[in-house]
Every structure is written in C-alpha cells, then in structure tokens.
Amino acid sequence: MYKVNNLIENPNVKVISELGPVRIIEHQRNMNVSNLSSMSTLYYFSKMNIHYRQALITLNQSSFMISSGAMQWMLGDVSLSSNVKGAADYISKIVSGKMTGESAIKPLYYGTGLLMLEPTLKPMFMLRVEEWGGIMLNDGAFLGCEGSVTLRVKTEKSLGTAMTSGQGFFHLSCEGEGVVLLESPVPIEHLVEVELQDDALRVDGNFAVAWSSSLQFTSEFATKKAEKTNSGAFGFLKNAIESNTTGEGLVNAFRGTGKVLLAVV
C-alpha cells in the first residue's frame, strides 16, 4: 500500500497531457536552487514557455519500456528487466542502437505501481500505434512505450535515399497496439499532422518526427513528376537540371495512405 502526496495536487505541477497509462506533468516554476549558475537560463526559458516536464506512468499488472537511464523513481510492486534475451540478442540491440541513435538497451518495467521518468526541457507527447497503422520514428524521438508495442529496426531499402534524405539508413519502427511516448524538437503546438490518402508529401529537410509505416519514404528531386514520365537516365538528368536551377534540390517524399508528423518550426 502506498500514497503519494504533494505531487499531482501541487500548485506548481500541472498535468498537460494524458493518454493510456502515461501522464505528462509540467513544473510551472523551477524551484530547485541547487545549481545557481543555471537559474538565469531557466528564468528566460520560462519566459519562452519552456518548463521541466516529466512522464508519470501508472502500471496495473502491466509493463512499460523506456530508454536506458530515463527512470527517476519507481514505486510499488514494480520490477525491472534488462529485456535482453541472451548474448545474441544483446549484440543485436547494441548494433541496433548504433544504427538508430537510440539507447541500445531499453529496460522493461512491469508490475503494479508508479514509474516516474527524469525531468527534461524537451516537449513530450504520446501516440497510439494502432491509430497510425504502425509508426516509423526519426532518430532520437523514442522515449518509451507500453510493453504491448513491438520495436524493430528497419533498414532503408534505397542507398541513395539513405545517403541524401538526412533521415539515416535505419529507423525505429513501432508495431502492434499501445501508447508510445516521444520527444519533440519543437513545442507540441508547432507539430503539424498531415494525413495522406493515396497522395504525396514532399519535405525540403529533415522535419519528419514520425510517419505511418504504410507510407513509402524516398529522397528525390523536387521537380520529379508524380507520374513516371521522366524515368531513365534522360529523366534523371532532366530532373537534376531542373532541381538545380530552381534552388530546391533534393526533397524527402512520403507517398501512399497514412500520416506524417512534421516539426516545421
């Protein structure tokens, strides 16, 4: 039996988002005076509406996977597993971590109780994997997920796309059902969700935070036509010249039916 006082009901704490077992709390003012040298920086952060945030996860005979080192405290009948199944799996996870830029080992917490993650100044948000039909993540976006979500590393099939897109050769894929907890490079209110229905989105830069697994992702010339009229060596050269003269060059393209989450600011 446990009881937590002066957390959610604290006037300095505000629950800004909640989905499934995850609540994101925001500390309205920084009350920590242990590091006086950073107080002026935090003051100006607060004026920009940048506050410390934490994710509080409620476990009810369930499990939650997080990035290594992200746990601040846990309470109740909660156990921890390295989520490593033998030497081969350990090597595989180390390699996958190097590929995606994520932490190699993602510990699994299970049982009944509370799990609090370390405070961060980065915005956090949640998505339901099943509502996206599977989610592909940009490097560094993953923070945690329910144990019902399966994580895989997927390799970009096109060498040219991997080298020119800025998105990298490998992406972390979230499959199954459940909530995934993500970090954003921009405030949540600046994230733009684009829904595609047999259409295409072209982005001039590495702005996609997450996208549906059903979408085809490629890097191509900005002047490439949707129809296959400029195929072959002549078409490639024509697109290269047109893109160079327009100043747009290569863009990242998402095609098909699904969603793309963009950090446009």
Does the pLDDT value for residue 258 go beyond 80?
yes
Q: How confident is the model at residue 223 (pLDDT cuts 50, 70, 90)?
A: low
Over the stretch 107-151, which tens digit does the pLDDT of each residue have?
999 999 999 999 999 999 999 999 999 999 998 899 999 999 999
Tell me if 119 sits within 8 A of 53, measured CB to CB. Answer: yes
In sequence order, the β-bridge partners of residue 53 are 26, 120
Beta-carbon-side half-sphere exposure of residue 199 (alpha carbons within 13 Å): 9
The C-alpha atoms of residue 94 and residue 102 are separated, in whole angstroms, by 10
Residue among 134, 116, 150, 143 at smallest CA distance from 217 = 134
Give the pLDDT of residue 225.
55
Does the pLDDT value for residue 52 go beyond 80?
yes
Does the pLDDT value for residue 103 go beyond 50?
yes
The C-alpha atoms of residue 116 and residue 131 are separated, in whole angstroms, by 26
Amino acid letter for position 243: S
CA angle 135, 131, 14 (to 5 degrees): 90
Q: What pTM was estimated for this model as a whole?
A: 0.79
Give the pLDDT of residue 170.
73
Tell me if 176 sits within 8 A of 132, measured CB to CB. Answer: no
Give the pLDDT of residue 247.
45
